[in-house]
């Protein structure tokens, strides 16, 4: 197994290239298919039961049309502006449900249709362990993917079953060995905490097992019951089984301490990384920056306008035909902008979700935030300390 180097850097977020994040654009691609539906999931996804006329082959064909048309449209708009696409994220759903050749075709089309030339591109793809193999790994790598985000969630089979996950730990281990020794050197694992009957010991055992594979990036999510999920219905029947906020905050702190021992720092509410391995696509969402969404239900942001693709595949197919026409909502949003201008900073509520925080321009800062060790002022910015990340909503209300 090759091991990522562990380097301590003071204030690593100061190295983020925010100017490039706002000047350039990201692209998000949604693949909405999953082998089964997890009990807690409220994303736009389809298990084995799908709307009539929606399958992998028809979806891919529509997606390739959208990539080609939107890529040509954006290339024309950005010509001569010095702006380009520098982050791509294929998410879902479970993108690795697609065959290797199809993943490679989508990745290659993205790289060639969008204006990516002129510098590096952070190109991420989400994967689940039971749909990832050597062939897909090689195909993605050869097509430009240089970052993997793998949904493991736990190493405990009882909890995996409770969550409705389709993998089990014994079959996950060889996949993680393959990833750790594979060609894509930047990879991230997901972990979930705040589950019913999940002790701190069980959680840390999962964390330690995953960290043995030395992921340079790690995501840890607090399981919150979302409306209309099987988990929420269960939680309403057994409310006494849901851990208290205090217990879950303790779990979160335990995960952070564990990760710190492996050279990670918490750079965003749910994300940890070794310095230099933070997801720039993720930071673009919170710090500001334009992005284009492709696929069912995907959101795009241009300037301050947010436009979402339809959630019905029938309506989406019609919308693809309108790209470049007067009926194209993204075209209308772009027409309001100076194509040469960088995106404006995100609003302070979003910027407070990561350590870099935001520039201070005359706002008063509640002294409690500073004395309480939640935030600090550094070089004209309100920067967030790790324990301040949980409270960003409250801060933004007080800032208004």
Binding site for ligand SF4 (CB under 6 A): 34, 37-38, 41, 43, 45, 92-94, 128, 151
- Cβ closest to ligand SF4, residue 127 vs residue 375: 127
In angstroms, give the least distance from the CB of 167 to ligand SF4: 10
**Residue 103, CB half-sphere, CA atoms under 13 Å: how many?**
31
In angstroms, give the least distance from the CB of 88 to ligand SF4: 19
d(CA 123, CA 116): 11
- Cβ closest to ligand SF4, residue 48 vs residue 53: 48
d(CA 135, CA 105): 14
- Cβ closest to ligand SF4, residue 225 vs residue 324: 225
If you search the block for the tokens 């990670």, which residue do you land on? 264
Nearest of 187, 29, 181 to residue 102 by alpha carbon: 29
- Cβ closest to ligand SF4, residue 16 vs residue 231: 231
In angstroms, give the least distance from the CB of 49 to ligand SF4: 12
* Sequence-ordered list of residues with C-beta below 8 angstroms from that of 255, at least 6 positions apart, any chain: 191, 193, 203, 204, 207, 220
Task: Give me 339's structure tokens.
Answer: 């194509």
Quick check: 188 and 157 in contact, CB under 8 A?
A: no
- Cβ closest to ligand SF4, residue 45 vs residue 83: 45
Quick check: 311 and 45 in contact, CB under 8 A?
A: no
If you search the block for the tokens 């790209």, which residue do you land on? 323
Going 222 to 300 to 215 to 107, the CA torsion angle's sign is positive
In angstroms, give the least distance from the CB of 41 to ligand SF4: 3
- Cβ closest to ligand SF4, residue 190 vs residue 278: 190
In angstroms, give the least distance from the CB of 174 to ligand SF4: 20
d(CA 15, CA 351): 16
In angstroms, give the least distance from the CB of 247 to ligand SF4: 23
């Amino acid at each position: 197994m090759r091991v990522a180097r562990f380097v301590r850097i003071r204030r690593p977020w100061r190295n983020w290239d925010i100017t490039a994040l706002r000047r350039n654009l990201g692209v998000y691609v949604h693949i909405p298919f999953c082998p089964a539906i997890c009990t807690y999931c409220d994303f736009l996804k389809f298990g084995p039961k799908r709307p009539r006329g929606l399958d992998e082959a028809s979806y891919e064909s529509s997606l390739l049309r959208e990539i080609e048309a939107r890529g040509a449209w954006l290339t024309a708009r950005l010509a001569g502006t010095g702006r380009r696409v520098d982050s791509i994220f294929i998410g879902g759903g479970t993108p690795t449900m697609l065959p290797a050749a199809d993943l490679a075709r989508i990745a290659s089309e993205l790289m060639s249709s969008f204006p990516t030339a002129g510098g590096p591109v952070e190109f991420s793809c989400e994967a689940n362990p039971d749909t990832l193999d050597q062939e897909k790994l090689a195909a993605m790598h050869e097509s430009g993917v240089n970052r993997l985000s793998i949904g493991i969630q736990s190493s405990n089979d009882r909890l995996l079953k409770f969550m409705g996950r389709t993998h089990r730990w014994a079959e996950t281990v060889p996949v993680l060995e393959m990833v750790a020794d594979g060609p894509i050197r930047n990879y991230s694992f997901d972990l979930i905490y705040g589950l019913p009957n999940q002790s701190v010991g069980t959680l840390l055992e999962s964390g330690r097992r995953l960290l043995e594979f030395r992921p340079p990036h790690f995501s840890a999510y607090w399981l919150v019951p979302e409306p209309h999920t099987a988990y929420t219905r269960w939680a309403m029947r057994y409310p006494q089984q849901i851990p208290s906020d205090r217990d879950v905050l303790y779990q979160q702190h335990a995960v952070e301490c564990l990760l710190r021992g492996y050279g990670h720092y918490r750079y965003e509410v749910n994300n940890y990384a070794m310095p230099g391995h933070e997801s720039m696509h993720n930071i673009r969402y919170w710090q500001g920056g334009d992005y284009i969404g492709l696929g069912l239900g995907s959101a795009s942001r241009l300037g301050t306008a947010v436009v979402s693709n339809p959630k019905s595949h029938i309506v989406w197919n019609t919308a693809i035909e309108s790209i470049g026409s007067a009926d194209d909502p993204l075209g209308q949003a772009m027409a309001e902008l100076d194509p040469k201008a960088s995106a404006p900073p995100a609003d302070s509520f979003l910027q407070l979700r990561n350590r870099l925080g935001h520039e201070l321009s005359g706002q008063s800062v509640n002294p409690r935030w500073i004395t309480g060790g939640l935030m600090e002022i550094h070089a004209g910015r309100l920067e967030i300390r790790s324990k301040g990340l949980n409270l960003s909503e409250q801060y933004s209300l007080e800032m208004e």
